[in-house]
Chains A and B, each alone.
Chain A
Amino acid sequence: MTTIAPPVVRTKEPTKSSGGRSGPVLWMALPAFIWFLAFGVVPLFGVLALSFTTWNGLGTIQPSGLTSWKATLSDPGLPHALWVTFLIMALSWVVQTPMSILIGVFISARKRYREFLAVLFFIPLLLSSAAIAITYKSLLDPNFGLGNGLGISWLNQDWLGNSTLAMAVLIFIVSWQFIPFHSLIYQGAVRQIPTSMYEASQIDGAGRVRQFFSITLPQLKYTIITSSTLMVVGSLTFFDLIYVLTAGGPGDATRALALAMYQQGFQANLMGPASAIAVILVLVGLGLSLLLRRLGGRSDDSQLEGA
């Protein structure tokens, strides 16, 4: 009996006051909170403050009211950069999501050769974006690239010099790089679906395709939302890949917001307008992630009814 006593005391403690329970929890969250405050919130407000100033990165920072905002908002480059950003976001989602789900479902089956393939699929995720960009840039070089090396002339397109092709190449590389990651998420989610559902549907005479659309896909709903949020918010910060691959070119065909911010701040020495773009980037990111959460609907619906 005495050995059972301590747990009883422990479980009773929290019920005395709700403050007693949240106290230690808050305390444990403190390091993370301080970290977030120092490297997330403080720079965020710093950037907000900078967007109301004029600064070339060298001299003194001079408050200049709305000058930077006016310059940024009246710049025709901003709507273009927003458009490019949304285009990259939408296209990469459209390409990545179906591919990731299919590959995720495929590798979730516990078969030897599929587990082997899963390891291969995973490789692009191990490489850094800069390395990927440099490699693809060399492969796609119209004069010294892959097409020339293999003697396949249709590969000798102006891949990164034509606006449409450059965007397509960018989406392809982004997808190539991140589909493994999202496949992994879907693989885990598919394995969570109770096999009893599939067994029941088999008795009802459902085929593989019917099973996929009626069981697998609805069961993956929340995973799709999670994966989409990661894709959409992640695509806002694509910088390294674009910077190395096309530097925003040809012309400004692939100049997304993050790149426009860098060029304003660190190449044109206009820290004020660059900070304004950064604030816009934050607002767009927050807006999108909130929207995706709304689309997710009420999370207290059970997905396992009747399972």
Chain B
Amino acid sequence: MTNNPVSRRNFLGLAAGAASAAALAACGSDGPSESGGGNTGGGSGGGSASYWSLSGPPGEPVRKAAIERFNKANADSKITTNFFQNDAYKQKIKTSIGANQGPTMIWGWGGGGLKEYVNSNLVEDLTGWFGENAAVKDKILPSSFGAATVNGKIYAMPIETVQPIVLFYNKKMFEKIGAQPPQSWGEIMALVPKFNAQKIAPFSLAGQSRWTNMMWLEFLLDRTAGSEVFDRVFAGEKDAWSDPAVLDMLTKIQDLVKANGFQKGFSSTTADSNADQALLYTGRAAMMLHGSWSYGIQTAQGGNFVKDGGLGWMNFPAVEGGKGDPSNTVGNPGQYLSISAKATPEAKEVAKKFMSTTLVDDEEKAGWVKSGGVPVLKNSESLFTGGDAQFLKDMAGIANGAKVFAQSWDQALSPTAAETLLDNIAKLFQLQVSPQQWVDSMNGVIGK
């Protein structure tokens, strides 16, 4: 037995092992096609269209009900559905559209992701359609159209709910230290040692999820400098992050981290396990900045916490000397439904009919209110009744009263810039980078 053949054979075997790692990158474009299913794909003929969206409560039952309503009312046409979990969906929709296996109707978050579809000519321009169907457009909150618009043209229909980010607080914890909810950044910093002295974490934060940290920067930047700074970043202006207000708010947030403003071990807490919300309703933390959807989660999982009036909420307080309007808010101005440019004319017609009838009817509106959300459809206030009425009224008040309702940064920016953003935000909260380093690396991906 000589040495050579053996080592060559093993060399190939090891090469196969190493290559399988590389194949991970190459497999992506093939994977989702099995679940995509050719016959439900965008190319299917006749009076049928396909619809993909997110699974799980509170959204999935309302989405399913809408499809059922449409299919019942339109015997000659049919919408088929596929529901995926949040992260899996983001993956599948991208690869299946890239492989021309996507659905007729593309559900999404608008903003930077939508822009990428538009740049690759993958979605229909709906500007003309909304012009012809002014009655449909008129039923939807105007502020929700911002994230559906790319280069002055509308490429998606705002659907489902408006979700501002608000400051939730546990009323009992405030009673315990005898304090009032903060009205300014200075009051926030003053509350931190008081809560820490009582062994209550001032703020709950799911730091591992990264976008949760981002919400803090969104509000702090807006309150300090107004919405203009991020608008310049969004527009791709060179060195747009090099604004003194950015350094100022980054320093503020690191000060809060250093003052133990967040619970111990916040970097290993995740939002998908709802552990951050559990900290709030179990009284281990006093406050939490989170999307309005958290209300539904705390109601469902917090026992009697919400029912007994333990949960308080407010818009993010002002920063002393800041230029931003304290009525401004950040979050999801809606969810968005686009029509695939690759779909057959028949499928596109079915999709348009679905959008102009079922998605704007009263049952749709009532369904979303019942799920604990504020619909993107106008005149839903009369439906706010029962135990959740006050919360819904306040959320609608924040959403409609906002001078600027900014879209979350990670949704507004392109996926490339968003990834760098989230990465740097995590490092900022970890105190791994200084505010200046943060600004430098973020300037590097402007316009990408």
List A residues at the B interface (Cβ < 8 Å).
Answer: 36, 39-41, 43-44, 46-47, 50, 56-60, 137-138, 140-144, 156-163, 166, 229, 233, 236-237, 239, 246-247, 249-252, 258, 261-271, 274-275, 278-279, 281-282, 285-286, 289-290, 293, 298-300
Contacts of B210 in A (CB 8 A): 249
Could you say which residues of chain B place their CB within 8 Å of the CB of A282? Answer: 15, 18-19, 21-22
- Which one of B91, B98, B264, B268 has the greatest number of beta carbons of chain A within 10 Å? B268
Beta-carbon contact of B26 and A239 below 8 Å: no
Specify the chain A residue showing the minimal Cβ separation from B15: A286
- Given A233-B17, A269-B415, decide whether A300 and B1 contact each other with a Cβ distance below 8 A: yes
A58 with B117: CB separation less than 8 A: yes
Quick check: is B427 within 8 A (CB to CB) of the other chain? Answer: yes
Check if A57 sits within 8 Å of B28, measured CB to CB. yes
Q: Can you pick out 17 interface pairs between chain A and chain B where the beta carbons lie within 8 Å of each other?
A: A43-B23, A47-B25, A57-B28, A57-B98, A59-B119, A137-B268, A141-B275, A143-B264, A161-B268, A233-B18, A246-B268, A250-B267, A250-B268, A252-B427, A268-B415, A274-B25, A275-B25
A43 touches B26 (CB 8 A): yes
Is B197 interfacial (CB 8 A cutoff)?
no
B278 at the interface (CB under 8 A from A): yes
A164→B426 CA distance, assembly (Å): 16
**Which B residues lie within 8 Å of A289 (CB)?**
10-11, 14, 18
- B149 interface residue per 8 A CB criterion: no
Given A143-B265, A160-B268, A299-B6, does the pair A262, B415 have CB atoms closer than 8 Å? no
Known: A143-B265, A158-B265, A251-B430. A281 touches B21 (CB 8 A): yes
Interface string of B85-110 (1 = CB under 8 A from A): 00000010011011000000000000
- B11: chain A residues at CB < 8 Å are 286, 289-290
B131-159 to A contact mask, C-beta < 8 Å, 1/0: 00000000000000000000000000000
Given contacts A40-B16, A233-B17, A281-B21, contact A143 B279 (CB under 8 A): yes
Q: Is the CB of A158 within 8 A of B267?
A: yes
Given A58-B97, A249-B426, A270-B416, 7 further pairs, Cβ under 8 A? A43-B22, A44-B23, A57-B98, A140-B268, A250-B268, A262-B24, A268-B418
B419: interface (CB < 8 Å): yes
For the residues of B in contact with A, the DSSP-based class is helix
Task: Check B26–A47 contact: CB distance below 8 A.
Answer: yes
Contacts of A278 in B (CB 8 A): 21-22, 24-25
**Residues in chain B near residue A237, CB distance under 8 A:** 17, 20-21
Residue interface bits B248-265, CB-to-A below 8 A is 1, else 0: 000000000000000111
Known contacts A36-B16, A266-B91, A268-B419; is A58 also within 8 Å of B266 by CB?
Answer: no
Q: Please state if A144 and B275 are interface contacts (CB–CB under 8 Å).
A: yes
**Chain B neighbourhood of A249, CB < 8 A:** 208, 210, 267, 426, 430
Contacts of B267 in A (CB 8 A): 158, 160-162, 249-250
Give the residue among A160, A246, A249, A258 with the most B Cβ atoms within 10 A.
A249
B contact residues around A43 at 8 Å (CB): 19, 22-23, 26-27
A279 vs B268: C-alpha distance when bound (angstroms):
31
In whole angstroms, how far apart are the Cα atoms of A60 and B98 in the complex? Answer: 9
Q: Which B residues touch A233, using CB under 8 A?
A: 14, 17-18
Name the distance in Å between B173's Cβ and chain A's nearest Cβ. 15
Say yes or no: B427 contacts A299, CB within 8 Å.
no
A60→B270 CA distance, assembly (Å) = 36
Minimum CB–CB distance from B32 to chain A (whole Å) comes to 12
Q: How far is the CB of B59 from chain A (nearest CB, A)?
A: 23
The 3 closest A-B pairs by CB, nearest first: A161-B267, A142-B265, A285-B18
Contact present for B7 and A159 (CB under 8 Å): no
Task: Say whether B16 contacts A293, CB under 8 Å.
Answer: no
Is A279 in contact with B22, judged by CB distance below 8 angstroms?
Answer: yes
Give A56 to B122 CA distance when docked, in angstroms.
Answer: 13
Look across to chain A and name the residue whose beta carbon is closest to the beta carbon of B424: A251
**Residue interface mask B408-447, A partner, CB < 8 A = 1:** 0000001110111001001100101000000000000000
Beyond A236-B18, A250-B426, A286-B18, is A57–B95 a contact (Cβ under 8 Å)?
yes
Give the chain A neighbours of B98 by CB distance below 8 A: 57-59
Those of B262-307 within 8 Å (CB) of chain A: 263-270, 273, 275, 278-279, 284
> What CA separation (Å) do A196 and B23 show in the bound complex?
48
Query: In the complex the two chains form, what is the Cα distance from A93 to B7 in whole Å?
Result: 23
Q: With an 8 A cutoff between CB atoms, is B207 at the interface?
A: yes
Docked complex Cα distance between A258 and B29 (Å): 18
Cα A271 to Cα B415 with chains together (Å): 12
B116 adjacent to chain A (CB < 8 Å): yes
Contacts of B207 in A (CB 8 A): 161, 250
- CB contacts (< 8 Å) of B265 on chain A: these are 141-143, 156-161
